[in-house]
Amino acid sequence: MHKGSGDHTSVWGADGWAVAPGGGIHVEPGGPHSLEVLVRGADVGGALGVFEFTHDVIKENPPHAHHGFMKVLYILEGHYDFRVGNAELSGGPGTVVVVPRGSQHSFTTATGGRILFVSSPAGNEEFFLEIGRLGPNPTAAQLADVRTRFHTVDLDQQEAFLRDAQE
């Protein structure tokens, strides 16, 4: 994994880099799903984070919102059904879904599949790296701590979060 942009600079600018297939940071967040972090915010000045998430069938997924970043999802494989805010969306490979910062969202898939996630600013990739560090059996308190640090709230917490943010 790349350890920081700008390791070498010329009149062309800072050097770029490539992440080969399988060359990212592999995370097992628990259950039948896995992800590979391809670009960490720490490597790009916090501008964005990128990861590929591989899903098994997801029959239900509680709505939640991320108040620290927005996401763009690009479906690579499978078919997904989304709810983002009040919009209900569906799509397969090549579909792009935009999840604005702070919007409640959820998705399911009857097929399983893969999605490329881009968050801006960075944060979603670090959220999952933290979840992965907790191991296969995190406690509810550990998960709640990660969710709090990454400003992630469930639908039933949304009003209180927004009220507290205004105070």
Domain ranges of the chain: 24-166
pLDDT at 9 over 60: yes
24-166 topology per CATH? Jelly Rolls (2.60.120)
pLDDT at 166 over 80: no
pLDDT mean over 62-81: 96
Q: What is the pLDDT of residues 24-47, one digit of tens each?
A: 999 988 778 899 999 999 999 999
Of 165 and 32, the structure prediction assigns the larger pLDDT to 32
Please give the pLDDT value at position 77: 98
Q: Tell me the Ramachandran region of residue 6: left when phi exceeds 0, alpha when psi lies from -120 to 50, beta otherwise.
A: left
Percent above pLDDT 70 for the chain: 93
Q: What is the pLDDT of residues 106-132, one digit of tens each?
A: 999 999 999 999 999 999 999 999 999
Write down the pTM of the prediction.
0.87
